Amino acid sequence: MVTGCVKSSNDIPPQSEKTSSTEKPTVERTAPLEIDPTILSERRFGEAPILAQRVKKGELPPIGARLPENPMVVSPVHEIGQFGGTIRQRLVTDVFDEGIIRKMLSENLLGYEKPLPNRQILNLAEKYTFFEDGKKLRLNIRKGLRWSDGAPFTVDDILFWYEDMTLDENARQDPIFPSRWTNAGSPVSMEKEDEWTLLLSSQRPLPWILSTLCHDDIAIPKHFFSRHHPRYNPEATYDNFKKLTTRANIALSPGIPRLSAWMASKWTRGLMVEYERNPYYWKVDTEGNQLPYADVLQFTVLANDQLALLKFQNGELDILSATAMSSQYAAVKSGERRGGYTLRFSVPSPEYNLFLNWDAHRPVLREAFRNRSVRIALSHAIHRDEMSQLLANGFNERSCVSFSRATSYYSEEAALRHSDYDPEKARAMLDKAGYRDVDGDGIRELRDGSPFRLVLDCLSQGLVPDFGELVAGYWEAVGIKVDLNIALQEIIVPRRIVGDFEVTITRSPTHLLGQTHMYAPVGPNLPFWHRNADREAPEWLREILEHLERAKYTMETQVREQELARIRDLYTEQVPFIGMGSSRGVWGARNRLGNAPKLINGEDLYRALQRSLFLEQIFIRN
């Protein structure tokens, strides 16, 4: 029934996409690591006073009846917390920052250990089993799980999300089926074995699916949304259903049942969003207290970084991410003691990449970007050490094409290749490639004689515009004119999605198997930087797709690691996009927060700062 390295147990099988960090936080722990089994067997759970009052009034069932048969037990990072209070945070916008909410609050069948993703762990599922050579995966979800309105959570909710929303192109929010649910060119199959047992199957092995099961989405409340779906209500329309099920509406609108620790309770558009505790949340600490500790999550919409930083220093915000403080790190750091806050860090990780559009609208620019010598020259023109000092307080480490240090295939030697600052080498490579300054005006010419000029898209938030201005200066110093397009994400992101850009700065992918859509033509219009790759991909990119296929489907860890290392080497050699370095992110937390992690992993695969914060076990000190 079980073959190769795949286990039939609650343990995640060995993966080459390992998540261990070489840096460990130094934390004095007083919370028990494990729960006394009699607490679970006797159902002796603790709950927040505001919920106990509702039980006393007859508004809620007792705590033992609200929790599943086998609640998930969480050991706090430091100590058993206290109930009550509000954790205050900031959003740049509300609707367009819904991704922050999703990363912070979503729950899936599996997850990554927090605050550092040292391993994959069970979450909504309490057990899983691979069989038939890894082509089938049975998942057992916790019996007795409930949505925040008290309705039972079952496999039907998962199938409604998958079959009636994700597979149904009329109901799906995105025009393209998500590649992370595709195997061997076809969607993964889902079947219901019973109310609490889900079966996934495919024609090829599914070892990679475990990372997908750690992502954001896996279910939507069928009892709430089915009446708006045409398959269940002849009077319903797909247009209205899609309006109701936008990611922003689900993340922000009060009244929609959730599985997360908090549920939306108030939304004042453009100003603030509040979430109150979920009385049916299914996790407890190691003393049997139902999480979360805090009663309320509050998000204030603050588009201005300086205003957000001021409110954090004045004690009006409890948590602040790096984007709002990086430019003033020294001043913020010097005010720690008197300000009542502490600055903390994430492990170094590739941060921003310059993605060249291999299918740019101008054929002559497209030809230049597909020239390896041009790409390497553009990389050598960038002074990454200077950028680190000017914009990142020296916390950025030089690298070009790099990957997460948590992976088995990370190589410092590979990461450093083509990353040294050498403008003379860059000029010589451009000359040799045939891109010279013929008329002597300081700007090189493209093949058709027009100026070598490009548009660089930059989000208007954080330090991205500053990175863009420095890159523009470096490239202009070697003869390439850069026009900056600095705009809000609602302008920049759609341009990137539809391929209507020339060069764009965006977050770096860090994991080959977890983010294949960023690296290879695994679906239509992918990767976004080479939307025509299915027809025009160079031989090396087609080879990468072959290596990815073998790495994805093998059940042998050693084989997987060899394939991924070969992909790393190909990317390092070809430099399809240009990394600007690995960053140690800085973020801040007020000292009134208990159990705030000292060190996190901010990579997007692990759902960034938002998931790593481990908010459900943070508490407000009395």
Model pLDDT, residue 23: 42
Query: What was the pLDDT predicted at 324?
Result: 65
pLDDT at 326: 64
Convert the pLDDT of each residue in 514-552 to its tens digit. Answer: 788 899 998 889 999 999 999 999 999 999 999 998 998
| Residue in 211, 196, 207 with CA at minimum distance from that of residue 158 | 196
Q: Model confidence over 495-505: pLDDT tens digits?
A: 999 999 999 99
Q: What is the mean pLDDT of residues 453-471?
A: 94
DSSP 161-192: HIIIIIS-TTT-SSSS--GGGEETTEEPEEEE
Give the pair of three-digit tokens for residue 322. 């790096």
Mean residue pLDDT across the chain: 92
**Contact between 156 and 140 (Cβ < 8 Å):** no
pLDDT at 41 over 50: yes
* 348-369 pLDDT tens trace: 888 899 999 999 999 999 999 9
Answer yes or no: is pLDDT of 160 > 80: yes
Helix (H, G, I), strand (E, B) or coil at 495: helix
pLDDT at 598 over 80: yes
Is residue 455 very low, low, confident or very high in pLDDT (cuts 50, 70, 90)? very high
Per-residue pLDDT at 27? 53
Q: Which residues contact 492 (CB under 8 A, 6 or more apart)?
A: 457, 458, 459, 485, 504
**DSSP 8-class letter at 617:** G
CB 443 within 8 A of CB 452: yes
Mean pLDDT throughout 54-66? Answer: 98
CA distance linking residue 194 with residue 53, whole number of Å: 36
Residue 253 scores a pLDDT above 90: yes
Cβ-contact 277, 262 below 8 angstroms = yes
Q: With pLDDT > 70 as the criterion, what percentage of the chain qualifies?
A: 95
Q: What is the pLDDT of residues 369-411, one digit of tens each?
A: 999 999 999 999 999 999 999 988 888 899 999 998 878 899 9
Q: What is the pLDDT of residues 138-151, one digit of tens each?
A: 999 999 999 999 99
pLDDT of the residue at 585: 84
Residue 331 has what pLDDT?
A: 85
Report the C-alpha gap between 39 and 391 in whole angstroms: 51
| Higher pLDDT pick, 417 / 323 | 417
> Exposed/middle/buried for 539, CB within 10 Å: 0-12, 13-18, 19+?
exposed
Q: Is the pLDDT of residue 15 over 60?
A: no
Cα 254 to chain centroid distance, Å, stands at 24
Q: Which pLDDT does position 393 carry in this prediction? A: 85
Segment 112-127 mean pLDDT: 94
Of 5-14, 93-102, 269-278, highest mean pLDDT: 269-278
What pLDDT score does 424 carry? 98
Mean pLDDT of 424-433: 98
**Residue matched to tokens 């990468």:** 544
pLDDT of residue 219: 97
Rounded-to-integer distance, Cα 64 and Cα 50, Å: 16
Q: Residue 331 class from Cβ within 10 Å (0-12 exposed, 13-18 middle, 19+ buried)? A: exposed
Is the confidence at residue 169, as pLDDT, over 60? yes
Give how far Cα 550 sits from Cα of 474, 481, 554, 558, 562, Å: 40, 42, 6, 12, 10
Is the pLDDT score of 484 beyond 90? yes
Average pLDDT of the residues in 581-607: 91
Contact 489, 478 (CB under 8 A): no
* pTM assigned to the model: 0.82
Mean pLDDT for 558-584 is 95
**What pLDDT is recorded for position 298?**
98
184-217 pLDDT, tens digit each: 889 999 999 999 999 999 999 999 899 999 988 8
Average pLDDT over residues 543-567: 93
Q: Are strands 136-141 and 125-131 parallel, antiparallel or unpaired?
A: antiparallel
What pLDDT, on the 0 to 100 scale, is given for residue 2? 28
pLDDT bin (cut points 50, 70, 90) of residue 4 is: very low
Question: For residue 594, what pLDDT is reported?
Answer: 97
pLDDT at 327: 65
CB half-sphere exposure, 398, CA atoms < 13 A: 16
